[in-house]
Structure 1
Amino acid sequence: MKSVIQDGYLRRLGMWDAVMIVIGGVIGSGIFRTPASVAKLTGSGLEQLALWLLGGGLTLAGVLCYAELGARRPQVGGTYIYLREAFGRLPAFLFGWTMALINYPGSIAAVAATFADYFCSAAGLPHLWSRPIAVGAIAFLVGINLGGIRAGAWVQSLFTVLKLGAVSLVVVAGLILARGHWGLALAVDTAHPVNSMAVVGALLPVLFAYGGFHYLNDLAGEVKAPQQTLPRALTIGMLTVVVCYLLANFAYLAGLGHAGLATSTAPAADTLRSLLGPHGGDWIAWGIACSTFGYCNIAIAGGARVIQTMGADGVFFRATGRLEGASRVPRIALVALGAWAIVLTLSGSFDRLLDYTTVGEWLAHAFGIATLFWYRRQFPDQPSPYRVPLYPLLPLLFVGVVLSVILATAWHSPGDAGMSLLIIALGIPVYFLWLRRAGTEA
């Protein structure tokens, strides 16, 4: 199919690419570690699986809302575009400011560091090589994406398939270890009695593990037949993730038991070692390295498109808004994002910065979904190839859950929540300075 130009970008991503982007944007390193944190806050395997199913269902509600938003506005920039049209340029800028300055580069730096740690472990390299390898991984992926979206999509597909292979390996290992006694996976764990509030708190890490589904919307301007492809890819991709997460958790519970999972610091490695011996840890280390490497790739590609959109709007450096070459690539935005991520990697400050922006990121998700009400009211007769089912129940459910997550996060970590709001507020004077510099009005 011949590529079509819209807003300067080439539509070159097909259905397979889009599904791989959704899966690769959600599955990083969380499913290999987070289940142990959740097990500490639950009292049985049944509660554990119920929480992951609930988290998946809630996230799927948000994904279906993003599917309609993407079908209505199939442009590069995703949430930034929705906020700009529905609520104005200032809220959109505050989202972009937080994501471009901290969240995207901080996520890239954090996951690149995780990739480097597991790569060194699997390859038998000393830990002091970790930081140079993380920097090299970021630079390599920026270089790949400078060649165009097809090159980045090829890398994404390859490493998404590899990470699905790693999840499958964990699932098979856990089921073999269970030796048919799968009912034990659902048993009550008398060694870890918990109260109902602890179980509610366990939903927080589950929802965080399901995050990252928005990257396809960031790239919507490069998707072929977006009105049909975006809803299908988001739904197929997210359902695949939910199934993978449920199977992985069941495998951990079947292989280690709830008590073993709750006390594990590396459940995937422990499961593989129980079956394959010491070399099992090396196998899963390679799997996690592949998974995190693929996540870095999609975060670089998606983040650069948001920065390019802001630059084209005149609320960021104008140079970052340019598209270059026959492939229409935001090269300056890619290099700027990669360079800042490398700075954060070398400084080692990314973990705290990500803690500070958690509230801001989830606020952006809530307001992003809320724009759906504006689109429905503002354009009641606009034809849409996809409409979220059970409207307005699903968007209200997602916004309500996200706001509850934000309140719970603020309650448990008031300092981080306060810093997040401060970072967002600091964007207000910066916004007006950009407008003054560009000679435009708010």
Structure 2
Amino acid sequence: MSNTSPSFKPTLSLFDATMIVAGGMIGSGIFIVSADITRNVGSAGWLVLVWLITGFMTITAAVSYGELSAMYPKAGGQYVYLKEAYNKLVAFLFGWSFFSVIQTATIAAVGVAFSRFTAYLIPEVGEQNIIADLGFIKISAAQLLAIGMITFLTYTNTRGVKGGKIIQSTFTVTKLLSLFGLIVFGFLLAKQSFWSENWQTGFSAMQDFGVKDASGALQPSAGGWQPITGAVLIGAVAAAMVGSIFSSDSWNNVTFIAGEIKNPQRNIGLSLFLGTLIVTLIYITANLMYLHVLPLNSIAFAENDRVAVTAANQIFGNAGTIVIAIMIMISTFGCNNGLILAGARVYYTMAQDGVFFKKTAELNKNAVPAYALWIQCLVASLLCLSGKYGDLLTMVSFVVVIFYILTIIGIFILRKKQPDMPRPYKAFGYPVLPAIYVIMASLFCVGLVWASPKYSLWGLGITLIGIPLYYLAVRNKKQEA
């Protein structure tokens, strides 16, 4: 395919790349999902262990991706790795899933989280303010604000990578410092410590999904915490990890923009390691702070799962709600900028292969795939209107981990298939650590099907719809040749 558009410009430094990794990972999850994790596994030990397992898996996958990014330092990242290790069909299924569920649904969920917490400061943009009731769907001010935010960031990124880089670095540094500050203040200023009380639960796994009272708020059930073991525990851990994995996902976005990173063979792998390590340490210490500031029941049954808000109110008094609202607005704004910036590069690479919309293969005068950015914006905006964010996250978590597994296995395949290919950076701990990741991630997927079969299998179904779409795209490509 001939392409007279400008080429990608390598303008992003190691710092910029690391901020894209960290900024894409930190959205709203760390402020919320610990409530659901606690309800699933029910002890201080298991709460921390779920985050440790997720952190280990994330860092292991990231340092393994370093080998692949050094071998193929070009736009498209994971799509390219899957194509080289397997074939074009497997790569297309990833790209299709990325477009239909993984990236667009994540952008939508993060956008709506931005709106929900903006409503703390400006109640008029809340979900209760219904702008239009079309019968089959109600459109709230929160959804419109989310769409507006996504559209603004998309426009900014069509103006060139420089503007997106400035937003990403500024907002990521701000949220890293503010999260660090929240953790420190939590340990120093909390009026009362629940540390000893919470750790009396140790590693005794329990569940209590609670009951809703007359106002709809979730309260502990009459039966209280129930011990769990065996297969039920595996399913509970998998269900709990949906939140932690979603909160730790999108670290691989930096691989999609390899064509715009200086010295990509070195800097992509290094940024993957540094970014995932920084975020993992912050996530674990944030949960240790929650255990210090709040009793276990207050973590599990925080109002609307907003654990950080409950903790901040204990630290800062009534001002805590505003502190967290501002932190999450900053966090989600920066997070979505990184997701939007990186995601369009996958569709660009697919179009270069002739299996996506033709115009997506073009770069505008600012050397960015503007058309790809706008169709991503359209799909994400439609998903903002769906209202099914929790269900979307289960589908996203299942599908994204399936493709992580395939990509890590791809390292083993490519060691056999392309033994002489230059590898400036090799997967750390190969073959042991990548193999451990594959086993742990596979157990997660099996456990998630056990715990939430409907939406995990829906995610798989959406992925498989890509098979006829691929052959349709190939046929059209042959007809045009």
Question: Which TM-score tier does this pair reach, normalised by the shorter chain?
Answer: over 0.9
C-alpha separation between the residues in 1 aligned to 2:45 and 2:387?
A: 38
5 Å matches for 1:134-153?
A: 134-153=146-165
C-alpha separation between the residues in 1 aligned to 2:95 and 2:325?
A: 34
TM-superposed deviation, 1:301: 1.3
1:200 alignment partner AA: V
CA contact (8 A) 1:122 1:285 kept: yes
Q: How many residues align?
A: 436
C-alpha separation between the residues in 2 aligned to 1:256 and 1:347?
A: 34
Distance 1:193 1:346, change over 3 A: closer
Q: Does 1:233 align with 2:233?
A: no
TM-superposed deviation, 1:132: 2.0
1:256 to 275, 294, 297: 294
Q: Does 1:94 align with 2:106?
A: no
Residue equivalent to 1:287: 327
Distance 1:408 1:220, change over 3 A: same
Residue equivalent to 2:433: 394
Q: Give CA-to-partner distance per residue, 1:241-275, whole Å, 9 cap, x none.
A: 11101110111110113333222221111111112
CA contact (8 A) 1:65 1:388 kept: yes
Instruction: Report the secondary structure of 1:323's partner residue.
Output: coil
Residue equivalent to 1:74: 73
Write 1 or 2 for the structure with the bigger share of helix: 1
Q: Does 1:208 align with 2:246?
A: yes
- Higher mean displacement: 186-195 or 426-435: 186-195
Q: TM-score, normalised on structure 2?
A: 0.85
C-alpha separation between the residues in 2 aligned to 1:251 and 1:405?
A: 26
CA contact (8 A) 2:252 2:272 kept: no
Instruction: Report the secondary structure of 1:374's partner residue.
Output: helix
Where do 5+ consecutive residues of structure 2 fail to align?
A: 130-140, 205-223
5 Å matches for 1:57-68?
A: 57-68=56-67
TM-superposed deviation, 1:7: 9.8
CA contact (8 A) 1:177 1:255 kept: no
Residue equivalent to 1:318: 358
TM-superposed deviation, 1:237: 0.8
CA contact (8 A) 1:19 1:237 kept: yes
1:163 alignment partner AA: K
TM-superposed deviation, 1:425: 1.9
- Higher mean displacement: 303-312 or 432-441: 432-441
Residue equivalent to 1:404: 443
TM-superposed deviation, 1:138: 0.8
1:375 to 411, 414, 429: 414
CA contact (8 A) 2:12 2:262 kept: yes
C-alpha separation between the residues in 1 aligned to 2:275 and 2:479?
A: 41
TM-superposed deviation, 1:295: 1.4
TM-superposed deviation, 1:351: 5.0
Q: Give CA-to-partner distance per residue, 1:200-231, whole Å, 9 cap, x none.
A: 34344333322221111111121101111112
TM-superposed deviation, 1:64: 0.7
Q: Does 1:427 align with 2:466?
A: yes
Percent same amino acid at aligned positions? 33
Q: TM-score, normalised on structure 1?
A: 0.92
1:422 alignment partner AA: G
TM-superposed deviation, 1:68: 1.2
Residue equivalent to 2:227: 194
| RMSD, aligned α-carbons | 2.4
Where do 5+ consecutive residues of structure 1 fail to align?
A: 1-5
C-alpha separation between the residues in 2 aligned to 1:240 and 1:142?
A: 27
